[in-house]
């Protein structure tokens, strides 16, 4: 296999990490228009803190009211990944407001809501 392929993929990853907020704006737009107008998108983790490494992922909370089940959660996640045409390095967590309040809010140290 040609090493140029790996170099190209690595450069794409670096670009996605550096421009994560641009990708998250697309996620926000699609979520609000196609999933729920009440959708919130929150960046957290190393990218939000500014101390990410090249092997880091982009941690994203997508808070959506009225998620019916895991299948619904999965469909939303796939829709959002397709909207940005990327899976890696984006780690999208589709959750309810209650899940945010009862779990995620307890350990997220730095976060940024995407508007």
Q: Is the pLDDT of residue 104 over 80?
A: yes
CA distance 63 to 44: 13
Beta-strand relationship, 90-95 and 58-63: parallel
In sequence order, the β-bridge partners of residue 94 are 62
Asked whether the beta carbons of 27 and 92 are under 8 A apart, the reply is: yes
pLDDT tens digits, one per residue of 13-71: 999 999 999 999 999 999 999 999 999 999 999 999 999 999 999 999 999 998 999 99
Each residue's pLDDT tens digit, 38-54: 999 999 999 999 999 99
Domains defined along the chain, listed by start: 3-114 (3.30.460.10)
């Amino acid at each position: 296999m040609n090493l140029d392929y790996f170099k190209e993929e690595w450069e794409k990853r670096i670009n996605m990490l550096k421009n994560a907020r641009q990708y998250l704006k697309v996620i926000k737009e699609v979520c609000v228009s196609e999933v729920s107008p009440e959708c919130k998108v929150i960046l957290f983790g190393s990218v939000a803190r500014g101390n990410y490494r090249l092997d880091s992922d982009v941690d994203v909370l997508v808070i959506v009211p009225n998620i019916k089940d895991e299948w619904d959660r999965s469909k939303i996640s796939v829709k959002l990944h397709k909207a940005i045409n990327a899976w890696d390095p984006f780690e999208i967590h589709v959750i309810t407001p209650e899940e945010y309040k009862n779990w995620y809010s307890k350990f997220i140290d730095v976060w940024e809501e995407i508007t």
